[in-house]
A and B are shown apart, each in its own frame.
Chain A
């Protein structure tokens, strides 16, 4: 593929290795499962004992716990934030896939598509598991149904 402003990048293997070890938001109470190259965040339902996708509130709680310990540099052993220092004294950081936005799509019962953007992989994947995701475009992601 040649593009007028495109340059090839070396290090594909390392890139893929990094992507296959995306950081995981977990807590002491939350077991995890690993599906292929994607690590999903799951919780054990207090009533049923079964593993399920976390609710938005549970994701928030996990985020809070993660923040307390953060650890931007140790959230994932294989892909850690990388602090930088510029010669001028400016400080920088190369982040991880935790902090990039994700777009997801669901096919509604009427055949239409709902597309929505989330700020993290965990949030996007949790949203895909929620039955109320499939709503008419222009609606919020978490519409009450009763």
Chain B
């Protein structure tokens, strides 16, 4: 989208039209109803100082101020003739000193086969009400809870930041985005309410591919009522939408990385205005067949790879070292081979952090882990705060090609009468023909990791999207409150499903 190609300009114009549509004359009313008892949660009288644009002076009031702030953001982003109802509470959720459940939210009622909706689709109630024109649960008896008919139910952790519950890191209740080391409640709630409004597949099981029956009482095999999302979910491997798949095909599609695309026109246009080209490693060498662009995935440890610039000259670990997997300390020959260079190390036998640390100790400036199995590169997991060099994973095929290139055209300094060779030189850049987080047709990708990440699959954008999007499974610290292109794709998807 950042290139000057006619295609990009056209797509930008389309996205601009979407942006205008998305921002134009929205109107919705969101009512937040507290479940909290006197003195706790929203009613906590603890005196606090105003923070980050939140002027309230009790903890309970500050909590509600953020809820209202986030609800106002959603009210401005969507429209509905029906009031959107949210039941909210603060509760003691699972905690340890270093981890915690922050909270939960989701659609609390679903409907199908109402006027104006697509027949035979389960919709979350807030969206169903918008399409139907009024509250479908109006007049329904309550379930005894007092909130059985609401659109969305939420609860957040009342103990966050207290001893034994992510000690010292409470929710940041400012609305200015300056959360620092604390948990930004605005973005967390913005994300979770997005799920409740319809950014989620809803009742279809991503583990089994099954639909819920028309009565809402059971999952059924190869039948039932599809989710309202399935019209827009297209698997590029089997060339089918989820609507046309069997249960088994949906199950497979949910763990088909980078292959499940969202086909709704608003999100597709928005993606082309929002997502950036795919980052790649550019390799230049005299070795035949190796010059080109290589995909990579970065590591959860060490320095982050810059978006552009020189990476360095690639180097193999000598086979004679019997340490080509890099699991042991490098011998003298290996140190000489990788010193000041980018070490190519095969995956296997030991952890990624072990390999990278050994290469760092040998003087390597970076490491490329060569996968030992086919497939798209996945990130490198692990943690070692003593690792300071960057690393990344490349595909098995790329590893074979690049190691062969290093062997065929090793770096060497020229001398009188003998030309030198720069070796295999790598730099970082992008592939303008491919968009990060979208398929070859520019359609944004849904999150379909393999193995399936129980619970977080499908109902989010893929983590390969750049920039980070609100509705990725990771609630990243660089998110803003913008819900539309060219910053975000949340509202375009919601438009696609009927908002």
Contact = CB atoms under 8 A, between A and B. Distances in A.
Interface of A: 1, 3-12, 14-15, 18-19, 36-38, 56-57, 59-60, 63-64, 67-68, 70-73, 81-84, 86-95, 97, 99-128, 132-146
A119 B200 contact: yes
Interface stretch (B235-243, B311-319, B350-358): B350-358
A15 B146 contact: yes
Given A10-B146, A72-B219, A105-B102, A143 B381 contact: yes
Interface in B12-71: 29-37, 42-43, 60-61, 64, 67-68, 71
Given A101-B106, A146-B352, A139 B300 contact: yes
Contacts of A115: 102, 183, 188, 474-476
Given A63-B207, A67-B210, A109-B383, A7 B100 contact: no
Contact of A144 (B140, B210, B354, B381): B381
Contact of A104 (B101, B215, B378): B101
B344 interface: no
A141 B68 contact: no
Interface residues of B: mostly helix, strand, loop or mixed?
loop
Interface string B440-483: 00000001010111111101100100001000111111100000
B397 interface: no
A108 B383 contact: yes
B207 A143 contact: no
Given A89-B113, A138-B468, A107 B43 contact: no
B147 A9 contact: yes
B374 interface: no
B329 interface: no
Interface of B: 29-37, 42-43, 60-61, 64, 67-68, 71, 87, 89, 91-94, 96, 98-115, 125, 128, 132, 136-137, 139-140, 142-149, 153, 155, 166, 169, 181, 183, 188, 191-192, 195-196, 200, 202-203, 205-208, 210, 212, 214-219, 299-301, 304, 347-354, 378-383, 385, 447, 449, 451-457, 459-460, 463, 468, 472-478
Contacts of B350: 146
13 contacts: A1-B42, A60-B454, A64-B208, A72-B217, A88-B114, A91-B111, A95-B106, A103-B102, A103-B104, A117-B474, A121-B101, A139-B474, A144-B381
Q: Of residues B212, B354, B473, which shows the largest number of chain A Cβ atoms within 10 Å of its Cβ?
A: B473
B468 to A, nearest CB: 6
B64 A1 contact: yes
A116 B468 contact: no
A18 B43 CA distance: 21
A99 to B, nearest CB: 6
Contact of B181 (A88, A94, A111, A120): A111
